[in-house]
Chains A and B, each alone.
Chain A
Amino acid sequence: MKKGLRIKIDNEPYIVTEFNFVKPGKGQALYRSKLRNMITGAQFERTFRSVDTFEPADLEKKKMQYLYQEQGKYCFMDNESYEQVFLTEDQVGEAKNFLIDNLEVEILFFEDNALEVSVPNFVDLVVIRADPWAKGDSVSGKTKPVTLQTGYQIQVPPFVEEGEKIRVDTRSGEYLTRVKD
């Protein structure tokens, strides 16, 4: 068992979010772990013995397209079947910073439940708000904050201007380069 493992308990999928080996004086080896229910988001602690066994959660990934967001629900569509699914803001997590209309994403399913979205490693986004480039800002290493079309705030080099498109690494959330259309 390890951090990030997805297991099935009482027919629901859980992700192991924390995992530590413990051994109370002269006692047996135990694993204190924190689990998150991947459907409800509920977290709880559980202590396992080294002899306990688990069933892995049977998860499936599907390519889908991001459509829109309404009242905290994010809608995605399967381009072949036109089937639509919704994720909550919690389930979308950090990915919401990079969701632009029609973006192709992968949705993780457990049976018929959509659980998580993964966005591509690199996404191009438009800068919708930036302070103008002031003289003297070009000192190397200096950055300024700008706001992207998704509302995401990011540090960029001072030469990036409003209306330009930039490429962001979605894994680190950091600026990579400017993009010319």
Chain B
Amino acid sequence: MERDGRLADKREILWKRAGMIRAIRDFFTGREYLEVETPLLIPALIPETYIDAVACGDSFLHTSPELHMKRLLTAGHPKIFQICKCFRAGERGSNHLPEFTMLEWYCRGMDYRRLMEECEELIVSVAADLGSGDVINYQGGAIELQRPWETISVREAFASYAPMSMDKAVTENCFDEIMVSSIEPRLGFTQPTFIYDYPASGSALAKEKKDEPVLAERFELYMGGKEIANACSELTDPEEHHRRFLNVNRHRHSAGKSIYPIPEHFLQDVARMPHAAGIALGVDRLAMIFCDLPAIDDVVSFVPEFL
């Protein structure tokens, strides 16, 4: 009964969440993006060092719709978006669920700089539809949506907020630790923040920067200290893809993790993939921001512990 009570208490939040998803759809359909659905159950996925898939029979539940959306892009659908469930084994915390809702969109001919602008336009448009106006009040702070938003490179962020430089953190194998303890808690509080140009070593399928190949053309959007979206200019070279996949599997093997089959059809298609930028945005986390709630549990109807 207590659980039913909790579900009933979520009425207002679930309405707001549904309104937010409707506003996202309106934004993309208004810009002539095609809404697509790709399979959740897939025989091979894009191997990532730190993302563990849920195995399901001989296949996997997808960890993101990236692979098949890129195949659609290659097949000649230049502007596509999808809102779907993704599954990642073992991810559970106040910002993580092992089953969560993702928004992904891809646009042919775009680079990651232009994608930042579209990301701003999306969230401003959703805020307007929800009646939030130019300011989102989140957990006692006020996030101003007036554009343009703050941009800071990863290297600058380390120089400003961290006890060591980005390059040193990479060499000393403590990049992630510094990111969560010194940098993330400083991002996106007075306005949303784009943090960009990540070390190429940790950016699975992002294109390297021409003038500085140790960096990848990748950005993340933060609001209220939370990672909301991850985006990049997409890598299109099939040999580079293959090399990175093998590398990921080597890392996984040496960390005692399962290795993944190589997605062959994807590798064949990617050679013909047009230049494009793509972005994945956590719908649950965006709902946390719009509903002014501190935990992901607060914005979904069910959490795994109560199934």
User: A interface vs B, CB < 8 Å?
Assistant: 20-30, 32, 45, 47, 51
Pick the residue among B90, B95, B175, B202 that contacts A22 (CB under 8 A): B95
Q: Given A23, A25, A26, A32, which contacts B91 in the complex, CB threshold below 8 Å?
A: A23
Q: How far is the CB of A133 from chain B (nearest CB, A)?
A: 36
Contact of B93 with A21 in the complex, beta carbons under 8 Å:
yes
List 16 additional A-B contacts (Cβ < 8 Å) besides A25-B220, A27-B202. Answer: A21-B91, A21-B92, A21-B94, A22-B95, A22-B180, A23-B50, A24-B176, A25-B198, A26-B50, A26-B203, A27-B176, A28-B49, A28-B50, A30-B176, A45-B181, A47-B181
B184 within 8 A of A: yes
Give me the 8 closest cross-chain CB pairs, A-B, nearest first: A21-B93, A27-B176, A24-B179, A28-B50, A25-B220, A47-B177, A22-B180, A25-B230
Residues in B whose Cβ lies below 8 Å from that of A27 = 50, 175-176, 179, 202
Knowing A47-B181, A51-B255 touch, does A28 contact B176 (C-beta < 8 A)? yes
At the interface, yes or no: B204 with Cβ under 8 Å from chain A? yes
Q: How far is the CA of A32 from the CA of B95 in the complex (A)?
A: 13
Measured in the bound complex, the distance between the Cα atoms of B90 and A21 in whole Å is 10
- The CA-CA distance from A72 to B242 in the complex, in Å, is 67
- With A26-B203, A26-B230 as contacts: A32 and B180 at CB distance below 8 Å: yes
Contact with A along B184-223 (1 / 0, CB 8 A): 1000000000000010001110000000000000001000
Are B230 and A20 neighbours in the complex by a CB distance under 8 Å?
A: no
Chain A proximity of B157: nearest CB distance (Å): 12
Q: Across the interface, do B181 and A32 meet the contact criterion of CB distance under 8 Å?
A: yes
Q: Contact residues of B with A, CB < 8 Å?
A: 48-50, 90-96, 175-177, 179-181, 184, 198, 202-204, 220, 227, 230, 255
Q: Are B177 and A30 in contact (CB under 8 A)?
A: yes
Contact B93 A24 (CB under 8 A): no
Q: Please indicate the chain A residues that have their CB under 8 angstroms from the CB of B230 in the complex.
A: 25-26
Q: How far is B198's CA from A28's CA once the two chains are assembled, in angstroms?
A: 15
Chain A residues whose CB sits within 8 angstroms of the CB of B203 once the complex forms:
26
A156 CA to B255 CA, complexed, in Å: 59
Cα A122 to Cα B13 in complex, Å, equals: 41
B95 contacts across to A, CB distance below 8 A: 22
- Nearest A residue to B255 by beta-carbon distance? A51
Q: B91, B94, B177, B203: which has the most chain A beta carbons within 10 Å?
A: B177
Q: Which of A23, A28, A45 has the most chain B CB atoms closer than 10 A to its own CB? A: A23
Nearest residue (CB) in B for A47 is B177
Question: Which of B91, B180, B184, B202 counts the most A-chain CB atoms under 10 A from its CB?
Answer: B180
Closest to A19 in B: B93
Query: Which residue of chain B lies nearest to A46 when distances are taken between CB atoms in the complex?
Result: B181
Closest approach, in angstroms, between the C-beta of A39 and any C-beta of chain B? 25
Q: Contact between B180 and A24 (Cβ–Cβ < 8 Å)? A: yes
> Across the two chains, which residue of chain A brings its CB closest to B177?
A47
CB < 8 Å neighbour of A24 from B49, B94, B184, B204: B184
Q: Which of B48, B90, B94, B202 contacts A29 (CB 8 A)?
A: B90
Instruction: Give the CA-CA distance A32 to B96 in the complex, in Å.
Output: 14
What would 11 A/B residue contacts be, using CB atoms closer than 8 Å?
Answer: A21-B91, A22-B95, A22-B180, A23-B50, A23-B91, A23-B96, A24-B179, A24-B227, A27-B175, A29-B90, A30-B180
What's the Cα separation between A96 and B23 when bound, in Å? 55
Q: Which residues of B contact A20 (CB under 8 A)?
A: 93-94
Min CB–CB distance B260 → chain A (angstroms): 16
Chain A neighbourhood of B180, CB < 8 A: 22, 24, 30, 32, 47
Whether B90 pairs with A25 at a CB distance below 8 angstroms is no
Point out the residues of chain B lying under 8 angstroms from A45, CB to CB.
181
Nearest Cβ on chain B to A81's Cβ, whole angstroms = 46
Closest residue to A51 on the B side, CB-wise? B255
A22 touches B93 (CB 8 A): yes
A21 and B94 CA atoms in complex are apart in Å by 7
Contacts of A29 in B (CB 8 A): 50, 90-91
